[in-house]
Structure formats: C-alpha cells, structure tokens
Amino acid sequence: MTSGGDAPGMNAAIRAVTRTAIYNKLHIIGIKRGYAGLIENEIEPLSLKRVGGIINRGGTTLLTSRSKEFMTPEGRKKAYTNLKKHDIDGLIVIGGDGSMHGANALETEFSVPTLTIPGTIDNDMYGSDYSIGFFTAVETAMDAIDKIRDTATSHERLFVIEVMGHHCGNIALITSIAGGAEGVFIPEEKTFDLETLLALLQEGKNRGKLSSIVITAEGAYKAAELQDMLKDHAYFRVRAVTLGHVQRGGVPNAFDRLIASILGKAAVDYMIGGKHGGFVGLDKMNPIFTPYSEALTHKKSIDEQLIALQEILAI
C-alpha cells in the first residue's frame, strides 16, 4: 500500500515490489487508499500487467489517504481482520513517518509482519540517505525558481519563495544552493536573522544586482509573512510566491525511479528472509534495515555542511 502524502516515484516502488514478488513465485495484492482502504477492504490483486507502464507516472496508482479511523483501536482491529480475511502474511507500506507508525502498530498489536519504504518528498526519515520523491520535488521547485528569477530580474525585485517542509528544511536548503538564493529559512534553525539578510541583500544591490531570491520552508516562515517583514525597506520591491502542492506532482526523475526500484526489491527480499518490523532505507545506495524501535525514536538531522555551504555561496 501507499499511505500519507504522495511522492513521485511511488509507482516505481509499487512496480518493483510487485515484480520482485512475482519473480519469487509469491502472490501479491494491492491495498487502495492506504489504511483507509485496508479498513474498508479495498483490496485488489496485482499482476505484471497491472503495474506495466506506471514507472514514469507521478502520484500513486494505488491511491492514498490519511485515515483518522486507523488511529483508533477499533479501526486497527478492522484493518487486521481484513488482512486475515485475505490471508495476507506480510505488509509493505510506502510512505512517511505516519505510515511507519501505522505499520508499527499492526506489527506490535497484531504481530503482522510489516516493512516501511520511505516515500516522502521531505527526505526526513531516519535510516535512509534518500526518500522516494525528494529529488523530483527539488527539481520541480528549481524549475519554478529559475523562471521566477527571470521576472525578478526584469522588474528588479526581491522574490520570497515558499517551498514545502513543515518540520524539515531539506527542499528549501537544496533549492537555495542549487538556485543561487541569497537567503534561506528552514524549520530546524532560522539560518538568517532579518538584520543579516537585509545587510546581505543591500550589499548585493550595491554591487549592481538587479534581483534577489529568498527561499523559505513553510515550517519556518510563510512567504507572505516574510514579504510583510521585508516590504518596508525601500531599496527593493518584494513579491511572495507559494509553490504548494505542485512539488508533489509530476513525472519522477531517473534517480527517484532508481531508488524506488532498489528499495522495492529490498523490501521483498527482507520479507522473504524473515526480516520485518522495520524500515528499509539506503546507505550510499545500498539497502539497509532499521528496526522501528530505532527509526521511530531518532530524528534525521539536517546536513550542517550544506548549511555552511549555503551561507558561503549566498554572499
């Protein structure tokens, strides 16, 4: 199943899990709409034909949702009943932290063997260098930023661009470096205080810069909020742009398709080998297993070297 927020590359993971299972003579089914679909018994067989032609498609062909009912003991009991009804003896969940918590609940409360594959554009899950969808989301944001810079220069403006990331600033940090932004704000730490940012922007203007870009993750500042904070400074005109859910959509890039394929195969291999109750991640492109007890209690830290790099290149 896929669960929680969609991410480009989820279909590649569905395809890899299905094909690896069939290669190993296993019967595999898909659960539609995540945990909500499991509660409502929305279950269908998966086949080579069913997963053909989906590797290049964004979103998830199994659909996804967030289920409040599954958060209750009664909801989880319904889900377990349907798993037993269909003789399901192992569950692979593609999603983020919330999805992993759900998989852990089924494993802990009902002894259902589960594994979680990281599928989230935030790339914030402990136990993996990368999560499915992150790099495609970054490329989508970068494409928009490059276009915005054209109009920013033409009108000699400062643009504040808000990208996704409630609790994690990975998208903001990477796009600020790759997009040549003059400043970035992330939830983990306010990388720039307002006074420092204003001084940096003024220095650039004094050197003859015609425009500037500041990136903010939604969990640090809203674009409109930063616009209000900056608009009273007369030496530039400020515009705000919120990229929003466009970052979740689109054709997954080659890297997201590759890691989804590696992770999907690894999850099936682990399940066949009797290893479950954990998170399937990547360490330098090699599959690794992290128990839920560790994956759910540790927080993935932001890369301090990238923060330092951004500060140096922003001058």
Give per-residue pLDDT as tens, 235-255: 678 999 999 999 999 999 999
Residues 225 and 151 in one domain: yes
Would the pLDDT of 195 be above 90? no
Neighbours of 272 (CB within 10 A): 13
Q: Which of 6, 97, 122, 124 is catalytic?
A: 122
Beta bridge partners of 180: none
- Tally the domains of the chain: 2
Residues 19 and 128 in one domain: yes
User: Average pLDDT of the chain?
Assistant: 95
Would the pLDDT of 88 be above 60? yes
| Domain edge (last residue) among 209, 228, 248 | 248
Percent of the chain with pLDDT over 70: 98
Residue 311 domain-assigned (yes or no)? no
Residues 71 and 15 in one domain: yes
Residues 128 and 273 in one domain: yes
Residues 113 and 98 in one domain: yes
State how far the alpha carbon of 149 is from the alpha carbons of 12, 119, 220, 295, in Å.
33, 30, 22, 39
Specify whether 122 is catalytic: yes
Contacts of 136 (CB under 8 A, 6+ apart): 7, 8, 9, 58, 121, 250, 251, 252, 253, 256
- Cα 277 to Cα 281: distance, rounded to the nearest angstrom: 13
- Cα 170 to Cα 97: distance, rounded to the nearest angstrom: 16
pLDDT of residue 190: 60
* Domain interval for residue 182: 136-248
Q: Report the pLDDT averaged over residues 212-228.
A: 94
Give per-residue pLDDT as tens, 118-164: 999 999 999 999 999 999 999 999 999 999 999 999 999 999 999 99
Residue 300 domain-assigned (yes or no)? no
- The CATH code of the domain that includes 285 is 3.40.50.450
Residues 85 and 148 in one domain: no
Residues 155 and 224 in one domain: yes
Look up the pTM and report it: 0.94
Residues 17 and 121 in one domain: yes
Residue 30 domain-assigned (yes or no)? yes
Q: Report the pLDDT averaged over residues 297-303.
A: 94
Would the pLDDT of 272 be above 80? yes
- Cα 298 to Cα 127: distance, rounded to the nearest angstrom: 9
Contact assessment for residue 9 and residue 258, using Cβ atoms and an 8 Å cutoff = no
Residues 274 and 198 in one domain: no
Residue 183 domain-assigned (yes or no)? yes
Residues 20 and 128 in one domain: yes
Residues 127 and 181 in one domain: no
pLDDT of residue 80: 98
Give per-residue pLDDT as tens, 27-38: 999 999 999 999
Residues 69 and 165 in one domain: no
Could you tell me the pLDDT band of residue 202, with boundaries at 50, 70 and 90?
A: confident
- The CATH code of the domain that includes 178 is 3.40.50.460
